[in-house]
Amino acid sequence: MAGHTRINAPRDPRAARSVCILGQGVTGEAVAAYFRSRSEPATVRTYVEGDRIDGSFDLAVVSPGIPPYSGLLAEARSHARETIGEPELAFRLSPEHWCAVTGTNGKTTTTALVAHVLNVCGVKARAAGNIGTTCIEAVQARAKDEYLVAELSSYQLAYASTIAPEAAILLNITPDHLSWHGSFEAYRAAKLSLLDRMGPMAPVVVDATLDETRAVVRARRAAHRRTIPVGTAEGVTGDMTARCGAAEAAFLDAQEQRLVCVVDGRRVALVGKSELRIQGEHNQINALAAAALALALGCPAGRVAEGLAGFEPLGHRIEPCGEACGLSFFNDSKATNPEATCKALAAFEGTPLVAMLGGRDKGTSLDGLVALAQGSCRAVVCYGEAGPRFAAAFGAAPRRAPAPAPPASDAVPGSAPAPAVLLRPGFRAAFDAALEQAQAGDAVLLSPACASFDEFSSFEQRGDAFKALVAALREGGARAGEEG
């Protein structure tokens, strides 16, 4: 092996004169642009899987798509003094005023919401990281004293060693990306490493409605590290200050149906649940987390409430797509695992659903998804590579939809029929099948619980395809197979 001896001590990337970049995507291009734009440009070489790295480098910067077991990564480590990720690079260059958001689901919405609320409160902030704009681009562009609200994925955190934000949010930890990390333990460790590096009094907001993250709350409280739990084991309406004497907490007041935060000794009621434009209990948790963080940073409660009420849903996250043929349509293409789809299904309590499920299978358990869909869906249409396994998980071969529900006055509680389960080969066929099964007043929900890569290049492309089909339906005014 040629090159430098690898060391563990963090290095100042501004001193790097030769840089090896692993990966040619958005991250790699942004990193290369930074090093080449400096007053003293560094020598930059970019490598992808299958390349042989030659020469010696002061620094290797790895894109999040490169897994830890990659041969390319192993080779880079033998040719560079240190190997880091792109957010780590950005943090070392500009570590002031960082807020971080991590977790399995809800990161992007919460990141955008935190940045929005801070700006409404008069605190300059911009969202970056896994949300779109790279951290390295953001730190170069941000104004003095501007906060960087970084959505950090487990991939990015696996290649970080010094990122220690001023405040952070941990939303949830459920099994995901296991093939990349090798185990759930490694995936979890990547998330928690961020919190471990923060100072004991730095505010960390944690979703306490789930067992995995509630354990984090207990461990942090035992270590006397500042933690603001959202909800309790009973759900988002649980108040941890009342349940176990926590000094700070965030929750939905069950009686008033208002979002409440207890932060820095103040108990403030913010907005009513119905005032939020983002739907579902999971978004109430996201809103509470964003509000608690903003309050912990000193933002006034009235402006925080204003920011929460004015925040619009992001694209591809239970995004309303309009109505046609007596049906309402929602694009939740960002739901790429069963846990995210469960949150979407729960957001439509009382509304009959026809759900489109499928794509590239991640192989995770479907038990919870099936149980929830049995009580909330009129029909589920399973499609794509994952379609057969999803259909089998519902315990039935494709069959016809149940008869229309009786009038409400004749309905028997608990008598809702099991959903029809249909199997279709591809996305367009699944959409047409969903239209055939839906009845007036239903919602058609794309919430696939799978990656998009069997038919699409990204979840955004998949969501855009859904919206295009809805737009065509609205323009035509008739369902597939119907005559005008």
The values of phi and psi at residue 235, to 5°, are 120, -165
Q: Mutual orientation of helices 211-222 and 184-196 as an angle, nearest 10°?
A: 40
The answer on pLDDT for 3 being more than 60 is no
pLDDT higher than threshold 70 for residue 177: no
Average pLDDT, stretch 88-102?
97
d(CA 25, CA 41): 21
**Distance (Å) of CA 192 to CA 108, 134, 388:** 18, 21, 35
Reported pTM: 0.77
- pLDDT (0 to 100) of residue 30: 96
Instruction: Report yes or no: 210 and 140 within 8 Å, Cβ to Cβ.
Output: no
Q: From CA 311, how far away is CA 112, in angstroms rounded?
A: 9
Query: pLDDT above 90 covers what percent of the chain?
Result: 77
- Beta-strand ranges (E) seen in 222-372 are 227-230, 249-253, 258-263, 266-272, 319-324, 327-331, 353-358
E strands in 210-257: 227-230, 249-253
| Interval 151-158 mean pLDDT | 92
Q: What is the rounded average pLDDT of the residues 249-269? A: 97
Q: How far apart are CA 428 and CA 202, in angstroms?
A: 48
Containing 255, the helix (H) or strand (E) segment is none
Lowest mean pLDDT among 78-87, 108-117, 167-176, 437-446: 167-176
Inform me whether the pLDDT recorded for 396 exceeds 80.
Answer: no
Q: Are strands 319-324 and 147-151 parallel, antiparallel or unpaired?
A: unpaired
As a whole number of angstroms, the distance between CA 280 and CA 193 comes to: 29
CA distance linking residue 84 with residue 102, whole number of Å: 18
Q: What is the mean pLDDT of residues 381-390?
A: 97
Q: What is the DSSP string of 289-320?
A: HHHHHHHHTT--HHHHHHHHHHPPPPTTSSEE
pLDDT higher than threshold 80 for residue 455 = yes
CA atoms within 13 A on the CB side of 235: 11
Q: What is the CA radius of gyration of the chain?
A: 24
Alpha-carbon torsion 205, 211, 214, 216, what sign? Answer: negative
Strand partners of residue 80: 57
The span from the CA of 52 to the CA of 2, in Å, is: 12
pLDDT tens digits, residue range 345-372? 988 888 999 999 999 998 889 999 999 9
Mean pLDDT of 89-104: 96
Least-confidence region, from 256-260, 261-265, 474-478: 474-478
The dihedral of CA 211, 110, 106, 328: what is its sign? positive
Residues with Cβ < 8 Å from 78, sequence gap 6 or more? 1, 2, 3, 6
What is the rounded average pLDDT of the residues 394-407? 48
DSSP characters over 53-82: --S-BSEEEE-TTS-TT-HHHHHHHHHBS-
Confidence of residue 7 (pLDDT cuts 50, 70, 90): very low
Sheet holding 59-62, edge to edge: 43-47, 18-22, 59-62, 83-85
Q: Report pLDDT digits (tens) over 196-217.
A: 999 999 999 999 999 999 999 9
| β-strands 353-358, 258-263 pairing | unpaired
- CB count in 10 Å sphere of residue 455: 17
CA of 456: how far to CAs of 191, 382, 404, 463, 475, in Å? 28, 16, 34, 10, 24
State the residue for tokens 């409400």.
408
Taking alpha carbons only, the member of 137, 465, 477, 119 closest to residue 327 is 477
Q: What is the pLDDT of residue 412?
A: 33
Q: Give the integer Cα–Cα distance in Å for 406 and 150.
A: 50
